Every structure is written in C-alpha cells, then in structure tokens.
Amino acid sequence: MYPFRINIVSLFVLLFLSTAFFAQEKTPSKKEITLLAKEANHYMKEGHFEKSLVKARIALHYAITIKDDNLIASIYNTIGANFDELTEFDKAFFYYNKGLIYADRTNNYQLKNWLYNNLGNIYCFDKKQYEKGIVCYKKSLEYCEKTNDFGQTVFTKLNIAWAYFDIGDFDKGLPYLNYINQHHKKYGDASTLVALNMLNGMYYGYKNDTEKAHIFFQNAIRLGNDGEEKSDLSFSHQEYSKFLLKNGEFQKAYENLALYNSITAKLNYEEKLKKANVAGINLEIDRYKREIDNIETKYKTKQYLLLEKQSKNKKISIILISLLLLIIILFYFLFQNTRLKQNNKLKDLQSKIQENIINASINGQEQERKKIASFLHDNISALLSSAGLHLNVFTSQNQSSPQEILKTKAILAEAHDKVRDLSHELMPTLLARFGLFYALEDLSEKNSNSVIQFRYSSPVPTKTRYNEEFEMKIYFIISELLNNITKHSQANTAKITIQENNKALQIHVYDNGKGFDPAHFNTLEGFGLNQIQARINNLKGGISIDSKQNSGTSIYIVVPIAHK
C-alpha cells in the first residue's frame, strides 16, 4: 500500500502547486506554453502518465487563456492519448472530440489527421462501431493527402483495410490493401509489417488461396515474435486460427488460438501493471476531468459574456442602422411620391388647360359657324333672293331683256345656291329644324358613294330632340369620325349605331378598314381624335377605341344626355 499512498500524495501536491501557480504567475508566452505541451506529450510517450496529465492541464489552462485553438486542440489530443494508454476509452473518446472542435477552427491538417485517426481506432477496436470508424479513418485520409504525408497515408489506409476486413467486406478493403502493398516499402515502417502480413493472409484466406494465406500469416507471426508489436501478433494468431479452422486444420487452429489467449492475457496483465503504476491518477481521474472541464467552463463563461455583450452591441447597431436606412428609404419614397403627385397634378392641370383651350376653340368655332350660317341664310341669301325677284319682275314687264340682265339673273341664282349650300354645311338645316337623328341619317346618306357605304341605324325615334347645343356637338363629333373613315380607313363599309341607355347616349361607329394601333392614339393628330376626345370630355362622356392592324376599327362613345 505504501507506493499507492505516495502516488496519491504526489498527485495532490502537483494539483495544489499547479493551482497556486495559476494564481501567482502571469500568463506565459505562446512559446513557453508550447514547450509545456511538448513536455506533456514527451511524458506520455515515456509512460509517465501522471506527469503528462498534470503538465497537460497547466498547458491547457494557459492555451485557453491566450485563445490559441491550435494549442488547445493539440493538448486535448495529448490528454485523450493518455487516457487511451490507460484503457479509459470513454474519456479518451471525449477529449479527442473536444480537440476536434478546436482543430476544426484551424488549418492544422496534421492535427486533424491524428484526431480522426485516434477516434477511428476507438470506434473500431473498442466500440466495435466499424461504420463510424471507417468514416473517421477516411476523414483522416483526406488530411493526409492534403499534407502529402505518404507515411501517414499508408498507415491510415492500413487501418481502413483492417476495418473492412473485420466486417468481412474484403472487396471494399482490397484497394486500400493494394495501395499499402505497393507503397509500404518506400513509405511504411517496421511497426506495421506484422499487421500488413496479417491482412494479406486474411485476404488470401477469403479468396481460398491457402498457400499464400499460410505464407503471409506465418510471416506476420515470425515478425511479431521478433519485434515489439505484440498486440498485432495476438491478432495474427487469432486470424490464423480462424483460417486454419475454416480449412479443417483443427490442431494448428487450437495451437494458434491458445497462443492468442496467452499473448492477450499477458497484454492485459501489462495494462493492469500500467494502471497500478499510476494508481493516484486512477483514483483521481474524475476529479481531473472536472478540473479540465472547469478550466474550459470559466473560459467559456467569460467568452460567452464577452460575446453576449458584443452580440448585444451588434444588435443595437444593426437596429439603429436599419432604422436609419428605413427612415431614409421612407423619406426618399415620400419625397418621390410627393414629387410624383405634383407632376401628376401639373400634367392634369396642363391637360385640363389644353382641353379647355380646345373646347373653347371648338365652342367658338361652333358659335361662329352658327352665326355665319344664320347670317348667310337670313341676310345674304334673303338679299340675293330679293335681287333675283326684282330682276324677274323686270324681265316679265319687258318683252326682250338685254343679255346682261339674263346673265345677272343666272349669276345671282348660282350665288344663292352656293350661299345656301355653305350655310347648310356650316349648320345643317335638318339639324336645326328636325333634330340630331334626321341630320345624322342625312349625313350618312350624303357621305356614301361607290367606294364606301355608310349604314345608319337607331332605335330612338327620329323626332326625338335634345338640347340644341348638345345636338350640335354630337353631330360634329360623328361628322368628324365619318370624315376620318372616308379619308384614312380604306374601308368599303361603315356603320353608325345610336341608342339611349340609362339617360346616356351610346354611339358606336365601326368600319372594316385597315385599322391602326390605339397605343399611338395621342400621336394621331391627323385623325382629329384629340379634338374629339376633348369634345367628349367637355360633355362629361367617355370614348373607347378598339382597333388592330388590318382588322377594322370600333369606336364606342357614351355621353350623358342634355335635354331641352
């Protein structure tokens, strides 16, 4: 019991000194921490696990303090390897995984290779979870290839082949075995020769090539007896025993199985001695784990508070910036909206002014038409008629009239007819005397010829009368539309339909001509459509144009009726 107590006392002293050391000493440099980590690794390789773990604990504390992910991952790997050697596989597995968390933050491919390889060994040899182990080995292989470490590549591929062979998947393991056989001489080392010969023996046993299988298994056993790889030697005896049993060589199979058991028992005994030599660590393993976890927890707590503060400040900054951007965007859109509204109002005002100018011009023209027509009809035409009457009286009283008198009568009759025609053109007599529908019927008939026929129809009685000014405006709108059809449409048929509906006059004018693009409505100045639009707007009505190239044109007009 004496050595046992000495080890416990020494561990407590080391832990106490290390704690006091943390409290009193300032944080060493990265170079000094790296040296501590190397010492811990050296102690582990020499089998001094107590010293290695304590050194690793001190190094880990400082590595976490300076936030060096590479050092932290490396030290966790050393701690995991110590527990691996002490056959504390669960704890080794735990620290390898912690090391991997930090290694993944670095570009240290070699360290990642070691950690994944160590995890693969635990999965395959201790947990017997071969699929997970193979995944880890393959990740390890990726990092070997990135560093061009051919020696480590050979070693990792040997592990993958062994894992596949253990689960009987020889076809998947064969490419890895072929690679090792090809490159082991150049890049491999003596420590893997036993395992390599054993794997070849397993493969040829699977292929039933008994001669080659015997040779490789016997080579593996011979090399194992000559060297230090006793664990691989025990596995070689075990696999050789399986092969011999399969081939009916029961005596030899039993002998090799006995040798496997003997070597395994010896290895187990050596492991027990190893643990006995570090009894203090065995008793204080959980406390050590708590110490290690406590170091990281304190670091994480400080780091969490710092990150939380940074995150809070970041969120506040993001919110403020977002609000500022939102205000700027809203202000921009508000400004643009106000500007757009002002532009629209200006355009509407300009349009209204232009429309009022057009309407005023049209109204003026219509009033002038009416005045001139009335003046021509009531005055000029009456005077010409009176002059003609006097000449008729003169000629009737004289048997023979001079040639000049007869010519004057003819000129007066012609002038009278032209004045009458001009008066009717300016203000149709039918429109004034009989109303809109008589005038439109007459207008359709007068515009028809051998090239184009205008057909007029309306269910409204022809004697229906509206406000005189309203009738005049509607008449000239339709007259302008018929004039456009005659000049521009190249149609041979046109229809005018008028009906009353809901106290509104509905007018439909259709032609089968060449049509036009309504999108260019505003550019069709020659058609007089803008003036027509202005007239209809003045009447509080609406106009719709449906036209396509070579498909004719339909114009729909709706205006509220203005009665007398």
pLDDT, one tens digit per residue, over 367-424 is 666 556 555 555 565 566 666 666 666 677 766 667 777 677 677 667 766 665 565 5
The answer for 248, left when phi > 0, alpha when psi is -120 to 50, beta otherwise, is left
CA–CA dist 145, 117 (Å, integer): 14
Distance set, CA 477 to CA 389, 418, 435, 436, 474 (Å): 39, 25, 15, 12, 5
Q: Per residue in 347-374, pLDDT tens? A: 777 766 766 666 666 666 666 665 565 5
Dihedral, 411, 412, 414, 417 alpha carbons, nearest 10: 170
pLDDT of residue 264: 86
Split at pLDDT 50, 70, 90, the class of 442 is confident
The pairs formed by 425-430 with CB atoms below 8 angstroms and a separation of 24 or more are 426/369, 426/370, 426/372, 426/373, 426/376, 427/369, 427/370, 427/373, 427/374, 427/472, 428/475
H-assigned helices in 207-249: 210-226, 230-246
CA–CA dist 494, 126 (Å, integer): 99
Which phi and psi angles does 543 have, rounded to 5°? -130, 140
Residue 301, token pair as written in the block: 């707590």
CA–CA dist 364, 344 (Å, integer): 29
Q: Which of 210, 231, 207 is nearest to 220 (CA)?
A: 231
Q: Per residue in 469-515, pLDDT tens? A: 888 888 888 888 888 888 888 888 999 999 988 888 999 999 998 88
CA–CA dist 415, 426 (Å, integer): 16
Helix (H) or strand (E) holding 73: helix 69-85
Instruction: Mention every residue, 6+ apart, whose C-beta is less than 8 A from residue 120.
Output: 133, 134, 135, 136, 137, 140, 159, 163
Q: What is this structure's pTM?
A: 0.49
